[in-house]
Amino acid sequence: MPEVKPGTAMGEWRRYGLLPVAACIGYSTMAIQTYGVGPFVVPLEQEFGWSRAQVMTGLTISNAIGVLFNFAVGVLADKVGPRRVGIAGVVVKSSAIMMLATATGAFLNWSLLWILVAFGAVLAQANVWASAVASRFDRGRGLAIAIALSGSSFCAAIVPVLATWLIGEFGWRMAFVGLGLIWMVVALPVVVLLFRGRKDDIRTGREAMEDLEVVELPGSAAAGVAELPGVGIKDGLRKPAFWQLLIASFSFAFYTMAVAPNLVPMLGEKGSGVTAAAQIASLVGIVSIIARISAGFLLDHFSAKLLGTIVFVLPVFGCGIMLGDSPSYLILALGVISFGVTIGAEYDIVFYLVSRHFGLKSFASLMGGMLTAGALGGSVAPVVTGFMHDIFGGYDPMLMLLMALMAAGALAIATLGSEPAEYAVAGN
């Protein structure tokens, strides 16, 4: 194996600084339906006489497709390179959003349209974009991944406002067309021009050997065939670290989808008025963005295992705060802040830990496993939460379950073994 000469984070950013930005814009495509469907609910109810549950069925379909295909898309990205998959994701997802404008009012038609949206979403999932970024950054990897994954936050800030304006000006059908067209026009050129990982260059023979830590394949030296360092899929699945991170991913996703949709009513049950509850809940978005970028920076300077453990322990205290009798506005705000920190930082940390424990060879595939666990947790959490609330008449039993799940996630990360030296930060 060629000698690896440790670089600097500044050098990585000077050379590849536009890549995380391109990944951020590309990844924002994945979340259009998540944050954009809300403004369409009332117009669709009025147009077709649907129930709210029927309108929202699309999100359930999207999660179900994710459970089935997240891992397969990760394998595809590792095989053909993230660039091809990312471009396909932007094209399919943007086109699918535009096609929602053709809804006829038949529920089968609506469901089939959302299956297309769901396939676009899995092609544009987080591991596709993060795998390219991780391959270009070593010392600055934490911050680079954080910026790439900020695409969902960027989408959350823009899409609801944009969709509401488009509906008001042009109607819901043209609003769907407008959303898809805007992302196609903006995101596709950026991804085509700027999004290219090392695996993409290896596949096309563009990667200079002296610029890349490579593994020479047996019998291929003469042809210059190389691949990124790391374990294969089968070896990765055999490692305890994979299953520990899988537990952490499931716990986090279950926690997020149990709390996020129920945060305002949960605060209301603790004595907050509607306005106060909304104000406290709004802290989540602000805190999560700050936490994501901060976590990325800290990952490049401190132990990822320690940071991950802290981030998972915070919600245990946050849920404990929510269990109190008539907590004050300030105390409730602290509990919500702990929630915001976790949803902002957790996936950054998991992505980073996967890259350090397994290397980059099968990064997208193994991370696809984490996303599958997350999709499964996120799918069942709202149902379980509603069921437990109906049985017990409140959220306290669910909060206790969430405390146990997040404690299990914290323990899973805290007991991870040491990062293999060959995948750790170069020079350390």
Q: Are 371 and 263 found together in one domain?
A: yes
Determine, yes or no, domain membership for 4: no
Q: Are 275 and 395 found together in one domain?
A: yes
Distance between CA atoms of residues 318 and 255, nearest Å: 12
Both structure tokens of 268? 């209301």
Q: Average pLDDT for residues 366-392, to the nearest whole number? A: 88
Q: Give the list of residues 6+ apart from residue 349 with CB closer than 8 angstroms, or none.
A: 295, 299, 304, 307, 308, 311, 413
SS (H, E, C) 251-309: HHHHHHHHHHHHHHHHHHHCCCCHHHHHHHHCHHHHHHHHHHHHHHHHHCCCCHHHHHH
In the listed set 173, 196, 219, which residue is the last one of a domain according to the structure? 196
Cβ pair 97, 28 in contact under 8 A: no
Q: Are 157 and 266 found together in one domain?
A: no
Determine, yes or no, domain membership for 305: yes
Q: Are 268 and 397 found together in one domain?
A: yes
Our count of domains for the chain comes to: 2
Q: How confident is the model over 174-223, as pLDDT tens digits?
A: 999 999 999 999 999 999 999 998 887 776 655 543 344 444 433 333 33
Q: Are 23 and 114 found together in one domain?
A: yes
Q: How confident is the model at residue 423 (pLDDT cuts 50, 70, 90)?
A: low
Ranges 9-23, 348-362, 369-383, 411-425: which has the least confidence: 411-425
At residue 211, the pLDDT reads 46
Of 160, 142, 159, 153, nearest to 27 by C-alpha is 153
At residue 418, the pLDDT reads 83
- The burial class, CB within 10 Å (0-12 / 13-18 / 19+), for 225 is middle
Q: How confident is the model at residue 93 (pLDDT cuts 50, 70, 90)?
A: very high
Alpha-carbon Rg for the chain in angstroms:
22
The amino acid occupying position 309 is T
Determine, yes or no, domain membership for 98: yes
Sign of CA dihedral 321, 324, 326, 328: negative
Q: How confident is the model at residue 357 (pLDDT cuts 50, 70, 90)?
A: very high
Residue with tokens 């699309």: 58
- Rounded to 5 degrees, φ, ψ at 307 are -60, -40
At residue 182, the pLDDT reads 96
Of 375, 318, 303, 315, nearest to 30 by C-alpha is 375
pLDDT beyond 50 at 280:
yes
Q: Are strands 215-216 and 226-227 parallel, antiparallel or unpaired?
A: antiparallel
For residues 384 and 3, the model is more confident at: 384
Q: Average pLDDT for residues 358-377, to the nearest whole number? A: 90
Q: What is the largest CA-CA distance in the chain?
A: 72
**Average pLDDT across the chain, whole number:** 85
Distance between CA atoms of residues 159 and 144, nearest Å: 23
Residue with tokens 């990944």: 23
Distance between CA atoms of residues 191 and 415, nearest Å: 38
In the listed set 169, 196, 223, which residue is the last one of a domain according to the structure? 196
In the listed set 196, 222, 248, which residue is the last one of a domain according to the structure? 196
* Most confidently modeled range among 49-63, 127-141, 277-291, 332-346: 127-141
pLDDT beyond 80 at 426:
no
Determine, yes or no, domain membership for 426: no
At residue 214, the pLDDT reads 42
Q: How confident is the model over 215-243, as pLDDT tens digits?
A: 443 333 333 445 678 889 999 999 999 99
Distance between CA atoms of residues 30 and 25, nearest Å: 10
Q: Are 170 and 113 found together in one domain?
A: yes
Determine, yes or no, domain membership for 345: yes
What is the pTM (predicted TM-score) of this model? 0.82
Determine, yes or no, domain membership for 32: yes
At residue 209, the pLDDT reads 39
Q: Are 262 and 401 found together in one domain?
A: yes
Q: Are 114 and 242 found together in one domain?
A: no
- Rounded to 5 degrees, φ, ψ at 423 are -110, -5
Determine, yes or no, domain membership for 208: no
- H/E element, 226: strand 226-227
Cβ pair 52, 41 in contact under 8 A: yes
Which CA distances in Å does 118 have to 57, 66, 90, 355, 416?
A: 12, 7, 12, 26, 33
Q: How confident is the model over 239-272, as pLDDT tens digits?
A: 999 999 999 999 999 998 888 777 777 888 877 7
Cβ pair 144, 9 in contact under 8 A: no
Q: Are 117 and 247 found together in one domain?
A: no
Both structure tokens of 4? 């690896």
Residue 87 lies in domain: 9-196
Both structure tokens of 104? 């006829």
The amino acid occupying position 413 is I
Cβ pair 205, 227 in contact under 8 A: no
Q: Are 152 and 38 found together in one domain?
A: yes
Query: Which CATH number covers residue 38?
Result: 1.20.1250.20
Q: Are 189 and 60 found together in one domain?
A: yes
Q: Average pLDDT for residues 385-392, to the nearest whole number? A: 87
Q: Are 43 and 189 found together in one domain?
A: yes
Determine, yes or no, domain membership for 209: no
